[in-house]
Amino acid sequence: MSSVPASPSGFAGLPPRRATPTKLGLVAGGLGAYWPQFPQLLPQLQESTAYVTQRFQTMDAEVVDVGFVSDAQEAAAAAETLRVADPDLVVIFLTTYLTSSMILPIAQKVAAPILVIDLQPTEKMDHATFTTGEWLAYCGQCSVPEVGNLFRRAGVEFRSVTGHLREDRAWERIERWVLAAGVRARFRGARHGLLGHLYPGMLDVATDLTRVSTTFGSHVEVLEPDDLRVRVEQVTAEETAARKELARSIFTVDDSVDEGDFDWAAQVSVGLDRLVDDFQLDSLAYYHRGLAGEIHERLGAGFILGSSLLTARGIPAAGEYELRNSLAMLISDAIGAGGSFTEIQGINFDDGVVEMGHDGPAHLAISNERPILRGLGVFHGKRGYGVSVEFDVQPGPVTTLGLGQERDGSYVLVASEGTVVPGPLLQIGNTTSRVDFGCHPGEWVDVWSATGVDHHWALSVGHNAQTFRAAANLLGVPFREVRGTQVLEGGILL
């Protein structure tokens, strides 16, 4: 699992967008019939519960701890508290055996997804000295099949992590679910901006806006270029100069950058910030063709600096009207792994790598070195000219993530893990990487393209497929992973 810090902390002057914190509901329980029979059992279980609570409190989440329950009545009261709290994920800690009747009220009343955890005190029992009371502290897993059966019969999605209390592997698996709950938190009530119009002919990019809302619980705000134009016109010379200074503190400004183009990119950047603030946007996708150098064409060509700065703050922006890609970028950013606007640029068959990147918005967190602002006399396939962002992606593990679409219109998250390796890169104002997917690069492209993923995707730092799989599960969409030249449909979380 990757645990990459979110980007903006490394760049002065780029305060991160503070999203709604992840809210976890936490309840622990055991069978109350045991307490009078084994007086030392409950204190031991409560000690384990305190440790679990402490671990959750160290995560970047708000924890709603409803305490320890011993029977179905107490579980029902805890369920009501959790229902009102409306968490992004409910964690039920099975400290010892308990009946499934103690779980059912929570599963029925609380709308949030549920994760069952059972963490015995240590790696193994001391068989020579343990009596029944000591053994009962180790038998939380005894309830797991019972709860699994209950959930299946009740139509509730079942998720569980079995381990021991201080096992790193178990806590890594649990943290994946917490990160995935963070994705769910970012999407619930999120506002996604869509500005301009579809890039002509890119049929895969066309997105049903209602489907976005019904699938993710998000709102799509349809914007017009004039919504940006008016705000850009209101930007003062002083604000433009300050934005240029900010850019100089983050980027190396190449000699190819025309000063007038730099002024315009900075002015548009300030206008974009106001657009995002005024409409309370969590992401943005845009494209406008324009004509003959008029203002809307200039706006369309002036996005890249400002969009990259927004993306670095945790407000992902995607060009070419790629709404589904801005959503994939938001998922990547939500787990703290970056997420940069990416497409295939070419293949180096000698080195066995797929070259990826784009001339559009970049996530500065994944840059290997200080990013560059480069002047371009032409944006390929688009009208206009101006300033673009260039960098090479930091070497090491990466994961691609796209939001594909099926024949019936439903969405699917598609991911593939690879490794960025050093080597020759284009210097044309693009974010560029050389990714080794552990197989013939041409065959990887064929398999990746057959998954239903669209033209673009998000490139994140770290091997994050397991976390993306968990996020897909909580978002209620299928997951498809390309491993080399094989495709894994769904799969069990490891």
pLDDT, tens digit, 9 for 90 and up, residues 436-452: 999 999 999 999 999 99
Q: What is the pLDDT of residue 8?
A: 38
What's the whole-number mean pLDDT along residues 334-360? 89
Break the chain into its structural domains and give their ranges.
21-187, 191-489
Is the distance from CB of 157 to CB of 174 less than 8 angstroms? no
- pLDDT for 383 beyond 60: no
Q: What is the pLDDT of residue 377?
A: 63
Structure tokens belonging to residue 240:
């433009």
- pLDDT for 220 beyond 80: yes
As a whole number, the mean pLDDT across the chain is 90
Q: Which residues pair with 341 in a beta bridge?
A: 458
To which residue do tokens 């103690």 refer?
102
Q: What is the pLDDT of residue 266?
A: 96
Q: Sort residue 168 into left (φ over 0), alpha (ψ -120 to 50) or beta.
A: alpha
Q: What is the pLDDT of residue 364?
A: 86
What's the whole-number mean pLDDT along residues 55-66? 92
206 or 404, greater pLDDT: 404
Write down the CATH number for the domain with range 191-489: 3.20.14
Q: Sort residue 320 into left (φ over 0), alpha (ψ -120 to 50) or beta.
A: left
To which residue do tokens 């983050």 refer?
250
Sheet with 283-287, edge to edge strand ranges: 219-223, 191-196, 283-287, 317-318
Interatomic CA distance for residues 273 and 14, integer angstroms: 11
Around Cβ 476, how many Cβ atoms within 10 Å? 13
Q: How far are the Cα atoms of 82, 90, 474 from residue 111, in angstroms, in the given order?
A: 9, 9, 12
What's the whole-number mean pLDDT along residues 359-363? 77
- Residue 289 backbone dihedrals phi, psi, to 5 degrees: -75, -50
- pLDDT for 56 beyond 70: yes
Q: What is the pLDDT of residue 87?
A: 96
Q: What is the pLDDT of residue 5?
A: 37
Interatomic CA distance for residues 437 and 485, integer angstroms: 9
- pLDDT for 319 beyond 70: yes
Write down the CATH number for the domain with range 21-187: 3.40.50.10940
What's the whole-number mean pLDDT along residues 29-37? 97
Can you say whether the dihedral through the CA atoms of 253, 256, 262, 268 is positive or negative?
Answer: negative
The one-letter amino acid code at 146 reads E
What's the whole-number mean pLDDT along residues 370-396? 77
What angle, rounded to 10 degrees, do the helices at 259-279 and 303-312 form? 50
Interatomic CA distance for residues 125 and 339, integer angstroms: 44
The pLDDT tens digits of the residues spanning 10-29 come to 566 777 776 678 999 999 99
How confident is residue 185, by pLDDT bands cut at 50, 70 and 90? very high
275 half-sphere exposure, CB direction, 13 A CA radius? 33
What's the whole-number mean pLDDT along residues 155-166? 96
88 or 390, greater pLDDT: 88
- pLDDT for 360 beyond 90: no
- pLDDT for 235 beyond 80: yes
Q: What is the pLDDT of residue 203?
A: 81
Q: Which residues pair with 367 in a beta bridge?
A: 393
Can you say whether the dihedral through the CA atoms of 327, 11, 6, 60 is positive or negative?
Answer: negative
What's the whole-number mean pLDDT along residues 242-268? 94
Q: Based on C-alpha coordinates, what's the Rg of the chain?
A: 25
How confident is residue 6, by pLDDT bands cut at 50, 70 and 90? very low
Closest CA to 342 of 355, 327, 330, 323: 355
Q: What is the pLDDT of residue 14?
A: 76
- pLDDT for 351 beyond 60: yes
| 155 contact partners, CB below 8 Å, separation of at least 6 | none
How confident is residue 300, by pLDDT bands cut at 50, 70 and 90? confident
Q: What is the pLDDT of residue 1?
A: 38
How confident is residue 2, by pLDDT bands cut at 50, 70 and 90? very low
